[in-house]
Structure 1
Amino acid sequence: MQLIDYDLLRSAQLEIRVLTLCPLKVTASEDDITSSTSATRIKCILHTVSLHANPSYIALSYTWGEPTPCKTIQVNGKAVAVRANLEAALLHIREENRPVALWVDAICIDQSSNEEKSEQVQIMRDIYAKSEYVLVWLGVAAQDSDTAMKVLKETGELAIKARIFDLRGKDLENLSNPEGDDRLNSIKTSLDACAQAADLTPFHTSLNDFSEREYWTRTWIVQEVSVARDVMLMCGSMKLPFETFAAASNFCGFTRLRLAENMTIAQWMDPIRGPLIKAAMARAPSAAPNIIIGIRRRYQRETGNPESFFGLLKRSCFDRGAIHPLKATDSRDKIYGLLGLDPFPLQLGILPDYYKSTKETYITTTRALIVSGKINILAWSQQHKVIKGLPTWVPDFSSPLRDPCGENDRIGSEEAIFCASGQQAASILSHENENVMSIRGVLIDTIDSMGSPWRTSDSNELFNYEEATRLFDEIEDFCKLSEKCGSTLTQDKEKWPEAIWRIPCADQEGKSSGRVRASSAVHSAYLELKLPDAKFKHASLDRRRYQRVMMSLYDRRPFISTEGFVGLVPAHSQQGDLICIIIGANFPFILRKTTNEQYELVGEAYVYGTMDGEGLKLGKDVEVLNLC
């Protein structure tokens, strides 16, 4: 195998390399066609062009795949090793009689040069945006994948005609009762007719299969697909326009919603139909394609309101059940793969730099976001970290993150549920050590005692009823103890009785628009859940919402402080840890003092009676706190 002789690219001229894929006839005529390996060999010519010249090329979007086994292609007459998935893509893209101009990152960028990678990544948005179109390679054909592509094409086209793309914002929430809204009622009627015409069983199966392909797990696809003028999906030799696929995917959400709305108790309990319907409802397709679809739609249609880098980072790093974090072969690309979509990248001051380690990249990114006002990112720094040596205040973006208990979990939302530091802006101070973050905050109390960690069961049950009962009891005991000691919490007599049912759900409930502050309806859900036979009874909508919020709070435990505050803290908290209101943050944090007068960040917390700025009215001093 040989290395490609790369000419230097002039970044000031926006130079890139384009790979010309030679047609099959040229390849076959030059090879000894008696050799099966040489007869199928890929021949390519690599040359340099400037984006200023508006060159014509197709940008390939694909997964790199495993590094072994390697395959061989020819580039400028030399045998070059490539990964198997790329060779498969080139074999399927190659045409019979005419060359195809491609941009392929693995070949068109000198992967051995950190300097070139850093420069090319900075113009990656332009590379994909200026391409003729982006070709998404989903992989080789699998069993029934050709049929699946046809089903998705037919269903997607029907959904487009039925005006699936006319649904906006919260329309799905209002579909069950569109009376008085002529526009929404008309769309619902059209989509219902479409659902009657479509064969939904193979449709859902096809969408499930395609949504689970490895391609949808890549961080880079967010940018590659979003900025493209046009996108074409390719699986084996079959192609499908991305917009048709998007329509089919959106239509899936509509049909599942309508199925749930129209379900009767008799149908659910039917011994024959019931299991089939439950299976269809349970096996929802991976939400990853919908995330990409939503980001592309916003980028293409709402150019005046593009999503921020912080919002994109939140979408790509959190594990929300059906929505899994996106992956990157190089952990630094969890950051660099999204930077190009930020509308104001220079304001952040984060530039792709492959000379930096992953640790340095994550520290730089977190600091830049905090300085820009996103101090709540501190709640993303959680216990389980893969990248060694990260300061406790820096999230490990390479690991699945969980939603902080005080953040709205609605996709794309940056709205906060609480305002523990009132309306005060964050106060960040410089520090000579890049591993230290200096902030201002108020240490309001110390953890005195804790209950058991709230965790999922070892069985297949999603909700752990036994553990929930113990959690309720421990919280109630702590609240009674707090009342006896005459704590700050008990001074507001009206709020006290609500503590026992607000604390288990961190004072929030789930809506289709995301988590919001808990309403009085949550009290009845709590009482319903406390019934001895709740596990075996049909759950009301309010109770199901209460349980979903509780499940999002796994790996936390109840506590009581020395002054009687009660709430939920990270499971790895310790007696003696400090409760802190960080100026500018929306929720309290737990800190642990080290021997050198610095503090480790343990995690964010829910502390009843401090979530609306009350903690800053206790007469305690604002201090400079050095997080390490």
Structure 2
Amino acid sequence: MADFIYTPLKKGEIRLLQLQPSHGNSLLDTLKCTISNHPLNAQSFTALSYTWGTDEPSHDLLLNDEPIKIRSNLHAFLSHALAGSSSRLSRTVGSIWIDALCINQGDEAEKASQIAQMASIYAAANRIVIWLGTADEASNTAMEFYARTASLWANNQLPDQTIPITDGERAAVEGLTRRSYWSRSWVYQEASTPGVDREFWCGSKAVSFDVLCVANALAHRHMTALGSLLEPSPWNTRVSLLNELSDRRRATDRSSFLWLLLQAQGLEAHDPRDKVFALLHIYADMQGKPISLEYDVEPEELYRSAAVLILNTTRELDLLLFCSIGQYKKLRSWVPNFYRFTYSILGFTYREFFRAGGGVVPRFSVGSNGMKLSVVGIRVDVVKAVHRAMKDPAQWGDYTNRSEFWQPIFSPWTRSLAAFLFPNTCDREYISGGTICEAVDWVLAAGISPGFGSPIRGDVTHWPLCELAASPSGPDIQATGLAFQDLLLRVSGQAIFWTERGYLGFGDFDVLAGDVLVVLPGMAIPLLLRPVTGNEWKVVGPCLVKGIMDGEALLLNGKEEDFVLV
């Protein structure tokens, strides 16, 4: 593309492609396209939603008779879309907008301008084709399942909550769900565009967006009726979210931008800025008003601007639950890494169960230059001693219960933790009531009852660490059952700490002695802060601490202070 000379775009213009008919076998002949500039709303066109792929451009394309190279996934789509090809989708698709070709990728200013218009471009299209890639036997089975299931539902032939589906069809649907398209950040903006006809294409098969969403919802209902998570699963959670976002974009919705960013946390983006921009116009539609951020800046600057947007629109401090002292070093400590959210604890999920800062409105202000965040908080205590986490959060993601993998890690960690918690091998009274043993059980369970259903506060698993402190061996994973899975999910990547006054808690992997435990009025989860200079602090991360999770710091009339986060 570096050698192709684009005609510069005027304000309000886009480029559109026209595929030229092939007179031979389109899969072998060189594809030909023309490209020209047009006002955005001047004519009907199809917009393509697809994934670029990671391969080097190696397929020939003649663009206005100039030879260029394109990647294999785009070449496959164009071959199927070409009139006269063997694909049954070969009806003329008319003019096509494709980002890789219609945006001058070598012109950063144009890229920034066109990216800012992406939502408008897809909304102006008369059709959006969602290209899932080339076909195989399994994908054909999956596409046929979607079409058949939606047809049965439309004809009232599904009287109960279940659907007819074979093991092979479940495997085929799950295989389609794992295709690279679903891991792409821009999927959410493009494929959730409301008010535009949308089609899923996979090889030569196509189903409409509505048909696939209906079949997917029926698959979810099927699993609910059976009361089990089927493996392989016929339910695509990404399709459900796309459908939900389409509905939210049609009507004003007050969900926060942070909520939206969290929905896309597992998606990939070649440019880390795209994790924000791919969702920004969805958020603008949900709010019913234009919202803009500058694209042509460094990622850390964009993330800071996004954080300020979240703070100013929600007037809440929940984004601090995703900050970590060990995150991307160029970021301000109070700005989350939106490319890879840090889950120092499951704070955003569990914030509904705790009220460390009471039910009041948080008080904070962003500095005039947007670089510092000043918050009002109560200094509770100082970290005195820290026990290392079971594993580095960089290893996060392996939740296997294979005892041969975890036993060599789990056994010495629990023995070391037992010695840390019970140096005298005996129980004693805890600072806020009850015993140390009870506090330990609470901390290792994050205060939540065992199990993988809806989390609730209540009885927690008992870990006999006091007894273990006097034992020469550690516990056996197989004997602990699901309790180990709970512990692995909730606290295995967290450091456990004592404070000077005797509070026990867990927090960020990089907690150090001397970090300060702070409760911010209006924030459900406490924070650990690290002094920098004067009254400036860095956010270490959120923490759970036994005895201060229900507003005790406020009830004890702790002195409020201003903390300037940098």
Structure 2 CA distance for aligned equivalents of residues 555 and 296 of structure 1: 32
**Are residue 299 (structure 1) and residue 248 (structure 2) matched?**
yes
**Are residue 376 (structure 1) and residue 318 (structure 2) matched?**
yes
Q: Secondary structure at the match of 2:334?
A: coil
Kept after mapping to 1: 8 A contact 2:81/2:92: no
User: What TM-score do the two structures reach when normalised by structure 1?
Assistant: 0.75
**Are residue 61 (structure 1) and residue 49 (structure 2) matched?**
yes
Structure 2 CA distance for aligned equivalents of residues 306 and 42 of structure 1: 46
Q: Secondary structure at the match of 1:555?
A: coil
Cα distance change of structure 1 residues 24 and 353 upon mapping to structure 2, 3 Å threshold = farther
Query: Which residue in 2 is equivalent to 1:429?
Result: 365
Residues 102-122 of structure 1, C-alpha deviation per residue, up to 9 Å, x if partnerless? 121222223333433333333
**Are residue 71 (structure 1) and residue 59 (structure 2) matched?**
yes
**Are residue 309 (structure 1) and residue 309 (structure 2) matched?**
no
Answer 1 or 2: which has greater helix percent: 1
Q: Secondary structure at the match of 1:100?
A: coil
Kept after mapping to 2: 8 A contact 1:204/1:252: no
- In the TM superposition, 1:199-598 aligns within 5 A as 199-228=165-194, 229-259=196-226, 281-284=230-233, 288-296=237-245, 298-299=247-248, 303-305=251-253, 307-317=255-265, 325-343=266-284, 351-372=292-313, 373-382=315-324, 385=327, 387-402=328-343, 404-408=345-349, 416-431=352-367, 434-455=370-391, 460-461=400-401, 466=410, 473=418, 477=422, 484=429, 487=431, 489-490=432-433, 499-509=439-449, 514-516=454-456, 518-519=457-458, 522-523=459-460, 525-526=461-462, 536=478, 547-548=485-486, 551-595=489-533, 597-598=535-536
Kept after mapping to 2: 8 A contact 1:503/1:567: yes
Cα distance, 1:313 vs. partner? Answer: 0.5
Structure 1 CA distance for aligned equivalents of residues 399 and 178 of structure 2: 25
**Are residue 47 (structure 1) and residue 37 (structure 2) matched?**
yes
Which of 104, 107, 120 is the matching residue for 2:98?
104
Cα distance, 1:204 vs. partner? Answer: 0.7
Cα distance, 1:348 vs. partner? Answer: 9.9
Which of 83, 91, 98 is the matching residue for 2:71?
83
Structure 2 CA distance for aligned equivalents of residues 458 and 365 of structure 1: 31
Cα distance, 1:362 vs. partner? Answer: 0.9
Residue identity opposite 1:3 in structure 2: F
Structure 2 CA distance for aligned equivalents of residues 160 and 477 of structure 1: 64
Q: Secondary structure at the match of 1:247?
A: helix
Residue identity opposite 2:10 in structure 1: L
Kept after mapping to 2: 8 A contact 1:348/1:369: no
Cα distance, 1:496 vs. partner? Answer: 8.3
Query: Where does structure 1 differ by over 6 angstroms across 4 or more consecutive aligned residues?
Result: 344-349, 456-459, 478-482, 510-513, 527-534
Cα distance change of structure 1 residues 6 and 554 upon mapping to structure 2, 3 Å threshold = farther
Q: Secondary structure at the match of 1:625?
A: strand
* Matched positions, count: 542
Cα distance, 1:435 vs. partner? Answer: 4.0
Q: Secondary structure at the match of 2:201?
A: strand
Structure 2 CA distance for aligned equivalents of residues 305 and 341 of structure 1: 10
Q: Secondary structure at the match of 1:23?
A: coil
* % identical equivalent positions: 24
**Are residue 19 (structure 1) and residue 17 (structure 2) matched?**
yes
Residues 218-237 of structure 1, C-alpha deviation per residue, up to 9 Å, x if partnerless? 11111111114332111112
**Are residue 623 (structure 1) and residue 561 (structure 2) matched?**
yes
Kept after mapping to 2: 8 A contact 1:443/1:620: yes
Structure 2 CA distance for aligned equivalents of residues 445 and 401 of structure 1: 24
Structure 2 CA distance for aligned equivalents of residues 202 and 407 of structure 1: 37
Query: Which residue in 2 is equivalent to 1:271?
Result: none
Q: Secondary structure at the match of 1:135?
A: strand
Cα distance, 1:260 vs. partner? Answer: 5.0
Cα distance, 1:400 vs. partner? Answer: 4.9
Query: Which residue in 2 is equivalent to 1:9?
Result: 10
Query: Which residue in 2 is equivalent to 1:613?
Result: 551
Residue identity opposite 2:500 in structure 1: T
Kept after mapping to 2: 8 A contact 1:447/1:578: yes
Structure 1 CA distance for aligned equivalents of residues 125 and 288 of structure 2: 27
Residue identity opposite 2:16 in structure 1: V
Cα distance, 1:505 vs. partner? Answer: 1.7
Residue identity opposite 1:158 in structure 2: L
Cα distance, 1:360 vs. partner? Answer: 0.8
Structure 2 CA distance for aligned equivalents of residues 393 and 572 of structure 1: 16
Query: Which residue in 2 is equivalent to 1:145?
Result: 139
Pick which of 420-429 and 325-334 moved more.
420-429
**Are residue 136 (structure 1) and residue 130 (structure 2) matched?**
yes
Q: Secondary structure at the match of 1:129?
A: helix
Q: Which runs of 5+ in 2 are unaligned?
A: 85-90, 469-473
Residues 276-330 of structure 1, C-alpha deviation per residue, up to 9 Å, x if partnerless? xxxx944446855245345345436x7243644221101112xxxxxxx111111
Cα distance change of structure 1 residues 572 and 298 upon mapping to structure 2, 3 Å threshold = same
Cα distance, 1:335 vs. partner? Answer: 0.2
Residue identity opposite 1:112 in structure 2: G
Cα distance change of structure 1 residues 396 and 457 upon mapping to structure 2, 3 Å threshold = closer
Kept after mapping to 2: 8 A contact 1:212/1:285: no
Structure 1 CA distance for aligned equivalents of residues 497 and 554 of structure 2: 20
Cα distance, 1:63 vs. partner? Answer: 0.4
Residue identity opposite 1:314 in structure 2: L
User: What TM-score do the two structures reach when normalised by structure 2?
Assistant: 0.83
Q: Secondary structure at the match of 2:283?
A: coil
Cα distance, 1:550 vs. partner? Answer: 5.4
Query: Which residue in 2 is equivalent to 1:277?
Result: none
Structure 1 CA distance for aligned equivalents of residues 39 and 170 of structure 2: 44
Cα distance, 1:364 vs. partner? Answer: 1.2
Structure 1 CA distance for aligned equivalents of residues 60 and 443 of structure 2: 60
Residues 434-493 of structure 1, C-alpha deviation per residue, up to 9 Å, x if partnerless? 443222222210111233424489994268574596598579749999955x73x13xx6
Q: CA RMSD in A?
A: 3.8
Cα distance change of structure 1 residues 223 and 554 upon mapping to structure 2, 3 Å threshold = same
Q: Secondary structure at the match of 1:24?
A: coil
Cα distance, 1:244 vs. partner? Answer: 2.8
Residues 98-148 of structure 1, C-alpha deviation per residue, up to 9 Å, x if partnerless? 462112122222333343333333332232223222111111223543333
Kept after mapping to 2: 8 A contact 1:219/1:333: yes
Query: Which residue in 1 is equivalent to 2:88?
Result: none
Kept after mapping to 1: 8 A contact 2:451/2:486: no
Structure 2 CA distance for aligned equivalents of residues 141 and 58 of structure 1: 21
Structure 2 CA distance for aligned equivalents of residues 326 and 212 of structure 1: 12
